[in-house]
Amino acid sequence: PALPERTLEGNRYMLPNGHSLMVFRDISRLLQLEQVRRDFVANVSHELRSPLTVVSGFIETLQDTPGCGNDEALGYLQLMAQQTARMQDLVDDLLTLARLEAGAPPQPGEAVCPAGLVEQTLSAMQEQVQSKQLRLSTDLDRALCLQAHSLDITSIVRNLIENAVKYTPAGERIHVVWRRQGEEAVFIVEDTGEGIPPEHLHRLTERFYRVDKGRSRASGGTGLGLSIVKHAAARYDGRLELESAPGRGSRFSVHFPAQRLGQA
């Protein structure tokens, strides 16, 4: 009978006598378990979506019903509405991540121009930007587009800009760039915000990893943003690079190879 398909992972070691030793490990079972985990998270998230929609719908109905409660009750309703919205964000991010982790790069995609997505994101966040008096600047190549799926590129643009706005204190600067750089196209979000201590940098793209848990939750973060950015970039052979200096600011850049560029 045909052997089931196996996945092997190999390492090569050089021996002092000049020979080399290859060691292979069968990781088929590991990959299978990983797939079970991914499916489980996707199914649970999907199942949570409908009840959450019902709960938030009834909270809104109660809020809009005249004489439905005193100030205390209305305060509780407000709190319930906020927490339900947080759960909905979390479920949406988990589903996005499950979709991205499912692999298989989407074919053939469409021409997606990040410059327009940056402008949409910035205008949706105008209120927060103004209330914090952040100084925004952009350097966007409008003619530079990617052959991709718009949901994926929107996730990258939105998560990096939202983070910069969240983690940059009032009066500081945010600079967003989309341009060619040698053979690549690069999307950069730079801020003069609080920065990230070096010991956290290598773990930032892990699911639910946060530098300051309390602050991140308070600012409405799900802890999945950078993980989503990393997976969305990888789908197009892109890579996420981070540089940061505590107290001076951070620079997140996503590099896409030339073969992913497309005509608008």
Per CB under 6 A, residues contacting ligand ADP are: 159, 163-164, 167, 191, 193-194, 196, 204, 209-212, 216, 221-227, 250
In the complex, least distance from residue 94 CB atom to ligand ADP, rounded to whole angstroms = 12
Contact indicator for 112, 149 with CB cutoff of 8 Å: yes
In the complex, least distance from residue 9 CB atom to ligand ADP, rounded to whole angstroms = 28
What are φ and ψ of residue 179, in 5° steps?
-160, 170
In the complex, least distance from residue 242 CB atom to ligand ADP, rounded to whole angstroms = 8
Helices 150-167 and 114-124: crossing angle, nearest 10°? Answer: 40
Q: Tell me whether residue 110 or residue 212 sits nearer to ligand ADP (CB atom).
A: 212
User: To 5 degrees, how large is the angle CA 62–CA 64–CA 67?
Assistant: 75
Q: Tell me whether residue 121 or residue 227 sits nearer to ligand ADP (CB atom).
A: 227
In the complex, least distance from residue 6 CB atom to ligand ADP, rounded to whole angstroms = 34
Contact indicator for 241, 183 with CB cutoff of 8 Å: no
Q: Tell me whether residue 144 or residue 156 sits nearer to ligand ADP (CB atom).
A: 156
Contact indicator for 80, 31 with CB cutoff of 8 Å: no
Q: Tell me whether residue 105 or residue 223 sits nearer to ligand ADP (CB atom).
A: 223
Q: Tell me whether residue 99 or residue 210 sits nearer to ligand ADP (CB atom).
A: 210
In the complex, least distance from residue 120 CB atom to ligand ADP, rounded to whole angstroms = 19
In the complex, least distance from residue 133 CB atom to ligand ADP, rounded to whole angstroms = 17
Helix H or strand E encompassing 146: strand 145-148
Closest by CA position to 252, among listed 185, 125, 159: 159
Q: Tell me whether residue 212 or residue 237 sits nearer to ligand ADP (CB atom).
A: 212
Closest by CA position to 263, among listed 116, 149, 144: 144
- Give the whole-angstrom CA distance, residue 139 versus residue 136: 11
